[in-house]
Chain A
Amino acid sequence: MRTGLLAFATIYLTTALASTAAVAASEVHEFKMANGMKVLVKEDHRAPIVVSQVWYKVGSSYEYSGITGVSHVLEHMMFKGTNKHPAGEFSRIIAENGGRENAFTGKDFTAYFQQLEKSRLQVSFEMEADRMRNLLLPEEEFKKELAVVMEERRMRTEDKASALTTEQFFATAYTNHPYHQPIIGWMNDLENLQVADLRSWYEKFYAPNNATLVVVGDVKAQEVFELAKIYFADLKPSDIASTKPRLDAKQKGERRINVKAPARIPYIVMGYKVPSYKTAKEEWEPYALDVLAYVLSGGSSSRFPKSLVRKQQIAVSADTGYGLFSRLDEMFLIDGTPAKGYSVKQLEKAINKELEKVKKELVSEQELERIKAQAVAEKVYEKDSVFYQAMQIGMLETVGLDWRLNDEYTKRIREVTAEQIQAVAKKYLVKDTLTVAVLDPQPLTAKKRQPTAAVRH
């Protein structure tokens, strides 16, 4: 089961472990600068390191037709220099300080990070502050980087049948809802992207009042804030235009597509429309959906692996996914690969039987206990990664939620009842909002398999 990076992840409130746990009560310190920039610091003194992340409230779900992929291309271009630091200089300086750096773009966010030995935090601040307001976006660098991103798209999507199927799935399931479009953008939009598109995107979203700085590591919160002020406090805020809601047009019945691509084995993606924590009217519902995902595929003893893979042997794999903490309405996803001798249709039928079972019968006490134990344990494991802790805080903040939801997660999961799981299954796993995409494998070569040509030279 994958329920977004946050799901299993978030928590640190101790319950079952309260007596034995040596886990320090972790606390996030919150600061706000006059220019609107938020600084969130969590002290973790296990190792003499620090992670610094700058999160912007922009991602592919902010984009509209014709410029899809612009957030991600801009993210690449953020490494291509300012007047103070020419192209490549950011990376060189971080490397020279023994650091690691990278960036990532999601549906609801774009973020930049450095991991450093703790005394070098200011190196990160200096450069992030500079590129927040002073990016150059040279035309020549843009052209090369756009080519790189198109290669990236080919690698991730064009040449991967299951990825293509998933992309088509979202484009079919959503009409007006911006999760319709892929994060990396449609190829034709990439081909026609202009540096001017990036510039206006940058001016629109890259400002201190649209950013959150998250620092986790062997630091003192107050000192981090003072240091941040030196570099970020003088940056001018912008007027950030509000984003249109783009609620999806109501789905009026099941949607089905076939995706033909060179492949050897079929694959199926199914999805039902559901609320996220942010859009749910009932606060408990998203947590019940999250636990439902655990029931079906949270670990090798859950229902899909136990029933579909091992008992009926109808699937090679079957999984669920749900993004509890997304910015907009979400999808309850199911995907799978049929076992040898079974069709996608048979697999879908078997999956549906499992879903019907959840609607008809209450989930057992034993299953609930297992899920609660998993949530408690995962919460401890996640603390082994300073980076991950920073991610959780940054993501919640950037989709407009409170980082305190992290603290509550285990408690919320433990409160979910068997009746609530049944209720959300009945309410949301309904045909009228279902979309199904099936990969229809095409031959890998037209001329059958050519013998390997060995040429020496």
Chain B
Amino acid sequence: MKHPGARRWFLVAVVASLGLGWAQDRLDPYFVDILTRIGINVILAVSLNLINGHAGQFSLGHAGFMGVGAYTAAALTLFAGPKLLPVGAGFWLQSAWFLVALLGAGLMAALAGLLVGAPSLRLKGDYLAIVTLGFGQIIAVIFRNIEWLGGALGLNGIPARTNLFWAFSAAALTIYVVTALVNSTYGRGFLATHDDEVAAESMGMNTTRYKIVAFVVGSFFAGIAGALSGHFTLTINPKGFDFNRSIEIVVMVIVGGMGRTVGVIIAAALLTLLPEGLRMLSGMSPSLKWVGESRPLLYALLLIALMLLRPQGLFTWKRKKAATA
């Protein structure tokens, strides 16, 4: 472990999220809503960053894996839960079952990641992007046509299990695992694959394996994020996991700076806050009403301006250090 502080940070974060989860009922629900979404988006962005940033692949299907997780977890709590748990199961039993659902969601998504990744990661360059794009579409079509998963209407009445504790401790775990993995001896392989695949292969490295590991780990956390998101909005449908959602996550990674975990975390938080900030701004006075109406336009304009001014990403402080490390 090259970063002895990492584990301490992880524990601090888990304790802090416990505190937040406890205080949740005393906070403004709108604020809790935004915080929870930040937590979920951080998980998505950091896990995608492992694939797109650190390992240098290009996945456009992250929302698809999220969907696999969301449906798995919802099926576990909605259908399997009532059958397996005793009637009137208490808070702790419910929470334990939710943990099982989260892990199940992660594992199913990881399995999907393996199935998609194993054949396609032998490809180089842009081909993976196309394969993952196709995967995202297939997932949506499959869910839409499975009757007992609700078809196009999706699943409703999912129990509200996600709170700030789950969202933030899962985010902390994602950050911890991804950083620990990348900074380990094994993780250097990701960077080598990213920097120069041919050179890495000529050194005897099995780059395909590194890519698959990055892909499977990334998908695992996407699945967990999906499970959290389903038990947070309480309703899921295939449309919520389409191509647009994938793009949103890719944008977070690019804005934060590919391969910069801290930058990606901040970008995920900022891009979740931005639309809400614009919403607030438009509510302040009638003369600012146009801000609310042109939210999608302003969001797009900000992205264009950002890419023109800082193509390397907004938050790339440690660039030099990382290069010499």
A and B held together in a complex: no
Measuring CB to CB, which residues of chain B are less than 8 angstroms from any residue of chain A?
A: none
